[in-house]
Amino acid sequence: MGNSNEPISLYSRSRIHDICEYAFRHQRTGEQLTYETLGKKIGRSARWVSDVINGRTTPMREDAEDFVQACGNHYAIRMLKHLYGDAPPPTDPRLMGSLTVSLNNLIKQCRDVIKEAEAVIEWERKKLPWKPITQDDERILTHLGKQIEDLFQAGDDVHILMDERYGIDPVIHQHNWLAEARAMEIVVSDPRELMRRERQEALMMGGTSR
């Protein structure tokens, strides 16, 4: 199975100013930011904001992220993440009629993932460890991966609609999840701690650590 480190994106880097313009024209901040007030928020001049929106300046990634986040438009945030290969593109808003519709789709995607996960569990139970992966095996695994991506997309649609319809910022969910995950010690909170644990495991298994 091949791996690729190339970002997967429908958008070229030259479209950054389009994403920033969309974010600015469709702000969700509770106030209408001007070039000047937006510039002050992100430590830039009104001229720089104007140049970005009109395509005269191409911002660095960090600046573009500050720009769209200051505008509070989660479609634009998602598009920017997709441009850099960090997330799939947002769903077409015309397909997101209501929160109920999106929740029903989320439920369907959960069921699809469970079905494919159960198939992979059965596949792994029967697989002989020394046998190489076949094309059929790869299809089983990649189909599960695709269903998981569908689930991520469906979840993000729900986050966006909860924000648009009821003002629940997706950042709140991220903060809540992170606080709980850290408290339960299920995430790597310190890279050095991860290295220390791996060295300990290597020593316990009779190996050597670097």
- Owning domain of residue 121: 97-168
pLDDT (0 to 100) of residue 64: 96
pLDDT (0 to 100) of residue 187: 83
pLDDT (0 to 100) of residue 182: 87
- Give the pLDDT means over successive 10-residue stretches in the chain (210 positions): 63 91 91 94 96 94 95 91 89 87 95 97 93 94 95 92 87 89 85 82 69
CA–CA gap between residue 206 and residue 136 (Å, rounded) = 37
Residue 193 belongs to a domain:
no
- Which residue reads 């299920």 in tokens? 186
One domain for residues 79 and 104: no
What is the count of structural domains for the chain? 2
DSSP string, 49-105: HHHHHTTS----HHHHHHHHHHHT-HHHHHHHHHHTTSSPPPPPGGG---HHHHHHH
Residue 27 belongs to a domain:
yes
pLDDT (0 to 100) of residue 27: 92
One domain for residues 70 and 128: no
Residue 42 belongs to a domain:
yes
